[in-house]
Chain A
Amino acid sequence: MDGDDPPPPKPLSIKLLENEVYAFQKSLKFKRPRGLRNLTWWGSERINLKTGYNINPNIVDEEFLDEIKLEKIGGITSKLVWIMRRRLGAGFYHNTLFRNSLIWKIFSSMLTKFLPYPYPDMSQAPVDKYPLQIYIDCDVLIVGGGLTGLTIAEELSKYIRNIVVLDGDQKGFGGYAAFLDSTNRNLKNLYNKLRKKGVKIVNGGVFQGFLEDGYIAYKYDTNQTIRIDSDVIIIATGSYEIPPLYENNDIPMTISLTTLLKLVMGYSITKLKKGILIGGMGDLIPALETLKKKGVDLFLVYRNKIPEKLRRFLEEKGIQYYENVYRISSKGRERVEYVTIVDEKGETLNIEVDFVAYSPIVAPDKEVVAQLGIKYVFDTRLGGYVPMHNLYGEIGPDLNFYIAGSAGGYIPIEYISDYAIITARYILNKIYGKGEGYESSASTLMNKIKETHPEIYEGLNSLDAAYRNNRSYEFVGWEKPPNIFHGDPTKIFVCFDMDILYSDLIHMYKDLGIWRMEHIKRYSGLGTGICQGRDCQLNASIIINNLSGKSFLDIGRFRARFPVIPQTLISLAGVET
């Protein structure tokens, strides 16, 4: 986007995709082949090709590009263990078979010898120098350089000088809006304008969280820790799509809609010609328009009945769709090859595809604020678990942290800018006593939302009321959860890192009476992998809610922990205390 500088180097994952290598990662526990999914920071992840698992930039050797093959991912031991584990369940080592201490001894020594992980590089020399840390000392830090983050930066920059925007992605990217035809130009202009104005935009830095004695971000491209000293922190991390649950939903090239847009629009990958899009909640129209222009052939698959506005659009543009889909099952090894769709009347359809994209639930990316231990509500209209805040993004009257845009609940794309401006004005008013009023523009915006998206209007109002009363509430508006399809529960993955299946959750609930998320995490290891529960936590609670009828607030979420993305030890060693 920034015309003066050369474009950033392509991430390794992109090079691999261009070479038609799709299964270049492995699951953490059983070495199952994995590809890209939906993590927003994957674009700059480096992959350890020797081991197949994304590990860290310093072990990676790009010469291994040719060597990577699916056969290397797998291995007999892990396959055997996987078969055993699929039959016996996530806590299979508690099975009668292993209660005999001798059998356990043999099995555990086998496990420890043949774990599907790499060894660390044992030849590392002792360290005498640690990477230098970076300091950011500013008045306002905005976490997230998407449409919300940049709009807020622009509004604040009218009155405040020292503003820093921290974005986790490569230069010139940003959130969902950066890849849509309708908003992409807007964002580019905004970016250049802010740079000229002197707003500092730091790319490749992920805000890791709030620790007692300071706040830390991690610049993964240079392996450095950023110490942050800022009066105000605004969390504008946006949202991410929750993976749908259907048979074989773990096959590589099952990607989120944002990832698809990023590949097609951001990296101009041309091999993605045809695929299905499992939709449900979000604003699909701008994305469908954008993809159609790029010549991507999409079939829209919907768990429920398709909303009237979307149906009209699909028919007008001649996009095929399937509603009330009962069962999906994908097939393939290195990548998704074809998909079988069965609707509720039993009609079956096989489609050959290059990818499966999904956007059934758009959940706020709340990992950072969750570390503060603030209360949350459960509202399907806003994307599931939502941190409690008022209409303007205030999360606590005494806290100088704010939550903005879709990080605080689903906001339709056309209102993102206006909504961001209101949050910015509120902050200006409250902290600096400057700027225009925010109340009248807020009520104008809310009236607009009420007309076009009455459900979201209700959701935002309930959230605001909940914040004022300091009381959580629960709203479940699904006829059928938009991301759960029928199928063999031993083939449906819930946690892609620790390989937890739908059937494991059934076993945990029905046989052991385990249903609280904190217990599920500890019993099965769900959510203890690289994603730390982002992908799996909501899905697991939907399953438990379906099985037991227990409320989402009782099922709960497990405590969010520092850091948001894995960070190397050596980068932390250099932090002065």
Chain B
Amino acid sequence: MKHDITIVGGGVIGLSIAYYLKKKAPDLDIAVYEAKYIGYGASTRNGSHIRVHFWSEPNVVFAIKSRKMMLSLAKETGWNPTPYIGGYLWLIYDEDTYQAYKHTNRDIWSKYGVAVEFLDPEEVIERYPYLNPGKLITGVLGVQDGKIHHDFVTYAYAYKFKNMGGKIYEYTPINSIVLEEGRIRGVDIGGKIIESEKVIVAAGAWSKSLMESIGITLPLTPSRKELSVLEPVNFFIKPLIIDMRPSSRGLYVCQTPRGEVMGSVDYPEVQGVYEFNNTIKYLSTYARAVIRLIPALKYLRVLRIWSGDYNVSADHSHIMGRDDEWPDGLYVATGYSGHGFMMAPYTGLLMSEYIIEDKIHPDMEPFLPTRFKEGRLVKEMMVIG
């Protein structure tokens, strides 16, 4: 067996790249290898939100384009990913953070039409009467942000890709990437070498160890995040709410349009790739924080809990493209630091341009893997949860 392009990882990033590659070059033999099932990992285990409010310019630009593509995904793929634009609401409790938001708004957001409303505490309570915000300084509402069903985005790409003749192999883990004379020869699957011109590593939290096996170190730290879902109640929490009190430990809470209240805290901090387990520490910390913020939730019941991961890079921004010092034919798209789902559509488009036409789009340039050795970090500070 031989492929033109092999994609390692059947998550939303890998499938988006696969879809756009196949669209651009229908004659190429493109295969996606997934160790478990499609979407296993962070693609099926995330908060399923999109936003354009980042603190660094490259991410803002990237996210705006990605959001636009996400919202027109129904036209593109024929799958409606059920978007609901309810906004993000940051509850801010200290002056420094407030000033930081003001500055970002003045310097970056206003430049790109990223809308933001600064609400005083009375206004927050008036608009969101269910909140018990405490000694709030201000509420920052990002109105263009919202939620989209993550599974349908993954399935849309997978389904379209397959229909165009692409190959997806589930439960087919890659043992290693095989090199020959300084270039990619293929991948090793079950001891057999499948030859391939190009290999794209989009394996989420497993990318780091896979790249290390061929001697390439990426500054990535997978970090586990736990989430829980409460029984459905009528839709009342429109935005995704982020409580920025240190004692809330990075609490965020949102509600899916079908009524389930979902949320997380950034505790306990667990680094490394783990099977998706949970802890009592998380459960009780989350319960206390969320009941403090929204007392109406106190008697709602937890239906299930799970955990996913943020594949955090050194500057909290994704790594896409390649380094010329790497073996020829090797590419990565990883390290999305919790933003993989929302960045997936634009990643797919740009990566396909890069791979087929060897064209580096200016929006992609800041995210090249070479930035770490050249000292051009993106420095994204806004990571939620």
Is B285 interfacial (CB 8 A cutoff)?
yes
Is A438 interfacial (CB 8 A cutoff)?
no
For A556, the closest partner residue in chain B by CB is: B37
In the complex, what residues of B have CB within 8 A of residue A124's CB? 295-296, 298-299
Considering the chains assembled together, what is the distance between the CA atoms of A126 and B289 in angstroms? 11
For A518, the closest partner residue in chain B by CB is: B37
In the complex, what residues of B have CB within 8 A of residue A122's CB? 129-130, 296
Considering the chains assembled together, what is the distance between the CA atoms of A104 and B277 in angstroms? 36
In the complex, what residues of A have CB within 8 A of residue B72's CB? 101
Q: Contact at A115–B235, with CB atoms within 8 Å?
A: yes
Which of B73-81, B182-190, B377-385 touches A?
B73-81
A429 to chain B, nearest CB (A): 31
Is B257 interfacial (CB 8 A cutoff)?
yes
Q: Contact at A120–B302, with CB atoms within 8 Å?
A: no
B287 to chain A, nearest CB (A): 4
Question: Which secondary structure dominates chain A's binding surface?
Answer: loop
Considering the chains assembled together, what is the distance between the CA atoms of A93 and B148 in angstroms? 13
Is B271 interfacial (CB 8 A cutoff)?
no
Is A158 interfacial (CB 8 A cutoff)?
no
Query: B252-268 toward A: CB 8 Å interface, digit per residue (1/0)?
Result: 00000111000000000
In the complex, what residues of A have CB within 8 A of residue B170's CB? 516
CB under 8 Å from chain B, chain A span 513-548: 513-514, 516, 518-519, 522-523, 525, 528-530, 532
Considering the chains assembled together, what is the distance between the CA atoms of A124 and B232 in angstroms? 18
Is B25 interfacial (CB 8 A cutoff)?
no
Is B234 interfacial (CB 8 A cutoff)?
yes
Q: Contact at A522–B295, with CB atoms within 8 Å?
A: no
The tally of residues in B whose CB lies under 8 Å from a CB in A reads 61
Q: Contact at B37–A212, with CB atoms within 8 Å?
A: no
Whether A120 touches B304, Cβ cut-off 8 Å, given contacts A519-B38, A522-B151, is no
Is A567 interfacial (CB 8 A cutoff)?
yes
Q: Contact at B278–A120, with CB atoms within 8 Å?
A: no
A524 to chain B, nearest CB (A): 10
For B72, the closest partner residue in chain A by CB is: A101
| Contact pick for B287, options A216, A522, A570, CB 8 Å | A570
CB under 8 Å from chain A, chain B span 261-297: 275-281, 283-285, 287-288, 290-292, 295-297
| Contact pick for B233, options A101, A118, A512, A519, CB 8 Å | A118
In the complex, what residues of B have CB within 8 A of residue A113's CB? 235
Is B301 interfacial (CB 8 A cutoff)?
yes
Is B27 interfacial (CB 8 A cutoff)?
no
Whether A566 touches B301, Cβ cut-off 8 Å, given contacts A104-B74, A213-B281, is yes
Is A99 interfacial (CB 8 A cutoff)?
yes
Considering the chains assembled together, what is the distance between the CA atoms of A98 and B152 in angstroms? 14
A288 to chain B, nearest CB (A): 37
Query: A566-577 toward B: CB 8 Å interface, digit per residue (1/0)?
Result: 111110111111
Query: B35-74 toward A: CB 8 Å interface, digit per residue (1/0)?
Result: 0011110001000000000000000000000000001101
Q: Contact at B283–A126, with CB atoms within 8 Å?
A: no
Is B118 interfacial (CB 8 A cutoff)?
no
For B302, the closest partner residue in chain A by CB is: A567
| Contact pick for B279, options A99, A111, A118, A212, CB 8 Å | A212
In the complex, what residues of A have CB within 8 A of residue B79's CB? 94
Is A561 interfacial (CB 8 A cutoff)?
yes
B56 to chain A, nearest CB (A): 29
Is A469 interfacial (CB 8 A cutoff)?
no
Whether A119 touches B80, Cβ cut-off 8 Å, given contacts A512-B159, A569-B300, is no
Whether A120 touches B233, Cβ cut-off 8 Å, given contacts A98-B80, A522-B39, A561-B304, is yes
Is B82 interfacial (CB 8 A cutoff)?
yes
Is B132 interfacial (CB 8 A cutoff)?
yes
In the complex, what residues of B have CB within 8 A of residue A451's CB? none
In the complex, what residues of B have CB within 8 A of residue A213's CB? 279-281
Return the 4 tightest CB-CB contacts between A and B, nearest first: A566-B301, A573-B287, A112-B235, A99-B74
26 residue pairs bridging A and B, Cβ less than 8 Å apart? A28-B232, A29-B258, A56-B300, A56-B301, A96-B78, A101-B72, A112-B84, A117-B234, A119-B233, A121-B296, A122-B129, A211-B283, A512-B159, A518-B44, A525-B258, A529-B303, A566-B302, A569-B287, A569-B298, A570-B291, A570-B298, A573-B287, A573-B298, A575-B283, A576-B284, A577-B281
Given contacts A124-B299, A572-B283, A577-B281, 16 further A-B contacts (CB under 8 A): A55-B231, A99-B75, A112-B235, A112-B257, A120-B300, A124-B296, A126-B295, A212-B277, A519-B38, A561-B305, A562-B304, A566-B303, A567-B301, A568-B302, A573-B284, A574-B284
**Chain B residues engaging chain A, CB cutoff 8 angstroms:** 37-40, 44, 71-72, 74-75, 78-80, 82-84, 129-130, 132, 151-152, 155, 159, 162, 170, 230-236, 257-259, 275-281, 283-285, 287-288, 290-292, 295-306
**Chain A residues engaging chain B, CB cutoff 8 angstroms:** 28-29, 55-56, 58-59, 93-96, 98-101, 104, 108, 111-113, 115, 117-122, 124-127, 130, 211-214, 216, 373, 512-514, 516, 518-519, 522-523, 525, 528-530, 532, 559, 561-563, 566-570, 572-577
